């Protein structure tokens, strides 16, 4: 949507470039974070089934809100938004943080106060703090990608 809006307006500037890069990073990193754990890794119990089933409501709602937030960011970059930069940034960062936390809860990654929980907390704080920057979408995408890279590195380190 951002690429199409930039092409139609005839202005491909830094705001659009950071928005495109950040949006792509958010979409791919969210997808990979969700599918990082396969179903066979999930323990079978009634509490897990309830957490898995009802937790997806938060995942789906936050993903829908991410899309709306990215659309609002495009409108802001075009000068068509009637909201502050912080509100537009929050419309992307808050749903990403909720989605990341919901995925962690659904997949049972929050069981103890270990390295995973600490890195998740740091990522959530950094994503929310990006609201007050000029490049929130890009920073959110980079933070989410760094979180995913650390998780992948940690899981490979445990397997070796």
Per DSSP, 113 falls in state S
Identify the pLDDT of residue 80: 85
Quick one: average pLDDT of 2-31? 84
64-73 LR contacts (CB < 8 Å, sep 24+) = 65/91, 65/94, 65/95, 65/98, 66/26, 66/30, 66/92, 66/95, 66/96, 66/99, 69/93, 69/94, 69/95, 70/1, 70/2, 70/19, 70/23, 70/26, 70/137, 71/1, 73/2, 73/19, 73/23, 73/137
Residue 91 pLDDT: 97
Eight-state DSSP code of residue 108: T
pLDDT digits (tens, 9 = 90+) for 95-152: 999 999 999 888 877 766 678 888 999 999 999 999 999 899 999 999 999 999 998 8
The 10s digit of each residue's pLDDT in 29-78 is: 999 999 886 555 566 778 778 888 899 999 999 999 999 999 999 888 88
- At residue 39, the pLDDT reads 54
* pLDDT the model gives residue 11: 67
The widest CA-to-CA distance across the chain, in whole angstroms, is 55
Classify residue 141 by burial, with Cβ atoms within 10 Å: 0-12, 13-18, 19+: buried
As a whole number of angstroms, the distance between CA 139 and CA 56 comes to: 25
In this prediction, residues 70-94 reach a mean pLDDT of 92
């Amino acid at each position: 949507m951002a690429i199409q809006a930039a092409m139609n307006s005839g202005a491909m500037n830094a705001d659009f470039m950071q928005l495109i890069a950040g949006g792509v990073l958010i979409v791919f990193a969210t997808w990979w974070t969700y599918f990082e754990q396969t179903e066979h890794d999930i323990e079978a119990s009634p509490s897990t089934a309830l957490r898995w089933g009802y937790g997806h409501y938060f995942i789906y709602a936050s993903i829908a809100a991410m899309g709306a937030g990215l659309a609002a960011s495009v409108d802001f970059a075009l000068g068509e938004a009637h909201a502050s930069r912080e509100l537009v940034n929050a419309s992307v960062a808050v749903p990403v943080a909720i989605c990341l936390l919901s995925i962690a809860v659904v997949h049972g990654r929050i069981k103890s106060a270990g390295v995973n929980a600490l890195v998740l907390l740091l990522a959530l704080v950094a994503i929310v703090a990006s609201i007050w920057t000029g490049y929130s979408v890009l920073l959110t995408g980079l933070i989410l990608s760094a979180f995913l890279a650390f998780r992948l590195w940690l899981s490979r380190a445990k397997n070796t």
